[in-house]
Amino acid sequence: MSRGVSVLSPLEFKDTDIYDILEKYLAGELLSVRDIERLLKSHDLWALGKVAKTIKEKHYGKMCTYIKNMILNYTNVCVVRCKFCAFYREPGQGYLLSPRDAYNMIKEVWSRYKIRQVLIQGGVNPEITIDYFEELFHLIKSNLPDVAIHALSPIEIDYLSKKHHMSYREVLERLRDAGLDSLPGGGAELLVERVRKILSPSKIDVETWINIIEIAHRMGIPTSVTMMFGHVETTYERALHLYRLRELQRRAPGSLAFIAWNFEPNKTRLAEEYGIKYPWGGYELLRIIATARIVFDGFIPHIQAGWLTVGKDVAQLALNFGADDWGGTLYNERVIPSTGLKVKFPREDEIKLWIHQAGCEPRERDNWYRVI
């Protein structure tokens, strides 16, 4: 992807508090962490949104994509014990689907909706070995070859590596041979050690998370990358997260999309310990999405609208603040509902209507963001 937007002039933004930063971007310069921080602090949301929307339309016009997919939460047992998670249970207190039961669940959803992707995520369950995933992936690919497997975060790759005394590359090779198509970027939260030690002291560190994603990219395995905001982080730390994701892409391109989502505090230890009563609102998501579109221009091609945690109305706005992808239908998702948040999972015709109402043209895509 080429960088810069020739149809915009820096003079259009001379009265904004971020004029000099937008001038740098429009001149093709890479933004520093401090530049990104200032974008994330700017209250001129309309200037930020105009630039982001123009970048998006330069690459994709009015098109906005979506995918018919499901989430398979194969287990809720996890020994990482993230303080922001209301979904996990201790060993002996949760569930683990057998590979056959997990496959049958996927097949049932596919028979109803003809999904094109299954996002497989669970937790670090000590009972699971790599053979579990190989069996599950083989079942999917043998019977539903058109369903892409978007599975396992760097956290789970690290766990399998330690359990089996294999390198990250060896783990990924075995999973790819079994049918893995791409890797979701879960477990990123915020790529800042101070924050990670509060959110999840047992989770892999920043360097390890980045290393696993980089190895996947160098093996030709595409990924998505994520960001969870609205908890204990500062604006500078949000900027550092975006900066580190961009630098990762400069070294080893391979991330297809960026997804930001706000921390949902209900029923979590983090909310109790830090007195977090409410999730951050749509204003902040729009600012992050617009900033991400500017920062990642030329590096990460797609930005998702983040409908799951903010709802359809803010997601529709996000399509005019730089997002070009609605995301998935996310059938069977259990993690966010575990907080008590009531989520309406949309039908395909509803997603197409909502995209159209936002002034965009809905297009179905596959796992690799190719329009069907």
Rounded CA-CA distance 287/303 in Å is: 13
How far, in Å, CA of 41 to CA of 258, rounded?
20
* Rg of the chain in Å (alpha carbons): 20
Residue 228, strand partner residues:
261
Phi/psi region, residue 369 (left: phi>0; alpha: psi -120 to 50; beta: rest), is left
Dist CA 84 CA 268 (whole Å): 5
Which one-letter amino acid corresponds to residue 278? Y
CA nearest neighbour of 224 among 127, 150, 117: 150
DSSP assignment of 90-153:
-TTSS-B--HHHHHHHHHHHHHHH--SEEEE-----TT--HHHHHHHHHHHHHH-TTSEEEE--
CA-to-CA distance for 178 and 133, rounded, in angstroms?
A: 8
The answer to whether 340 and 267 have CB atoms below 8 angstroms apart is yes
Nearest to 208 by CA among 248, 253, 154: 154
C-alpha distances in angstroms, 119 versus 73, 226, 318? 8, 14, 23
Residue 189 in marked binding region: yes
- Is 78 annotated as belonging to a binding site? yes
Beta carbons of 308 and 261 less than 8 angstroms apart:
yes
**82 is known to lie in a ligand binding site:** yes
Alpha-carbon gap, residue 77 to 126, rounded angstroms: 8
- Spatial distance between the Cα atoms of 6 and 117, rounded to a whole number of angstroms: 36
The answer to the question of whether 6 is labelled as a binding residue is no
Yes or no: say if 246 and 295 are a contact pair by the CB < 8 Å rule.
yes
Which residues are known binding-site members for S-adenosyl-L-methionine?
84, 189
Which residues are known binding-site members?
78, 82, 84-85, 153, 189
Which residues are known binding-site members for (3R)-3-methyl-D-ornithine?
153
